[in-house]
Amino acid sequence: MSYINKEEFAEMVKTYQLELYRLSFAILRNEADAQDAVGDAIVKAYEQRRMLGSKEKFKSWIMKIVVNTSKNMLRSKHQIVYIEDMPEMKVGASEKRDEVWDAVLELDYKHRVVVVLYYYECFSAKEISQMLHIPEGTIKSRLARAREKLKTLL
């Protein structure tokens, strides 16, 4: 099986660069960290591009890598700054505000991720389940809870 070359890889990353940032930001809620996480994820994906089964799966594949990379960064960041610097984890002042997006960011971590993948990226519950290694039923219940919460926020 031939794997994607650098040009194809770059083109696909460019296609989804906004989505990658949005997903990472939803997890990290910090501009600089989200950019770093996307950068790390792109390098990781490039180095492992031989493992990509088919180009059609590129988006879900790289988004999963973004989720893993961002989660790892969130944990290490959280661990380091948990006492003295938590405000840094909030939305940056330069972030353009959007009522819906702000409401999504108010959700807790588990719900934010599924909301972004489901509503923003239009993955099905089954696809999200496969991406996150979480049962489909759990994804659906998280979506239901997220909807309830969004009702109160919007």
Partner 1 sequence: MNNLTDEKIRKLVADSKVEPPEGYEDKIDSLLNQLDESEKKTRFAWKRAAAIFIIFLLVGSAGVYATISGRNRNLENLSDTQKQQFLDDASEANTERDSYSRELSDTEEERLEELKIAYNIEGKSPQKSLSLVAYGNQVTENKLCFVTSESKFYFPEREMTDEELLEIIDFYYKRDYSIRALGEKNVQSRTTVPEDHIVQLAEKYVKSIYDIDLSGSKYTLDKIEDSEITVYLVGISTKDAERYEVTFQPDSDMFDSVTKVNSDNFVDDIQVDRQLYREKLTDTKDIIEKFADLRQIAGSSINYVYKDDGILKNGIITYAFEMSDGSGYFLYYSCAHDEIYSMVYMKDMNSYYEVLENNRKVEERLGFRREKVELDPVVFLSE
Q: Indicate whether 58 belongs to the interface with partner 1 (CB under 8 A).
A: no
CA distances from 39 to 45, 46, 69, 82, 135 (A): 10, 11, 10, 24, 29
Q: Which residues fall within 8 angstroms of residue 91, CB to CB, at 6 or more apart?
A: 29, 97, 102, 105
Contact between 98 and partner 1 per CB under 8 A: yes
Q: Binding partner 1 by CB under 8 A: which of 8, 15, 75, 141?
A: 75
Determine, following the binding rule CB under 8 A, whether residue 119 of this chain makes contact with partner 1.
yes
The alpha-helical segments, DSSP class H, found in 29-154 are 31-47, 58-81, 99-106, 109-115, 125-132, 136-153
Asked whether the beta carbons of 119 and 111 are under 8 A apart, the reply is no
Q: Is 48 in the site for partner 1 (CB under 8 A)?
A: yes
Which of 27, 28, 42, 114 contacts partner 1 by CB under 8 A? 42
Handedness of CA 130, 131, 137, 138 (dihedral sign): positive
Is residue 81 a contact residue for partner 1 (CB under 8 A)? no
- Residue among 2, 84, 87, 94 that touches partner 1 (CB under 8 A): 94
Binding site for partner 1 (CB under 8 A): 6, 9-10, 13-14, 17-18, 21-22, 25, 31, 35, 38-39, 42-48, 51-53, 61, 64-65, 68-69, 72, 75-76, 78-80, 82-83, 92, 94-96, 98-101, 119-120, 133, 147, 150-151, 154
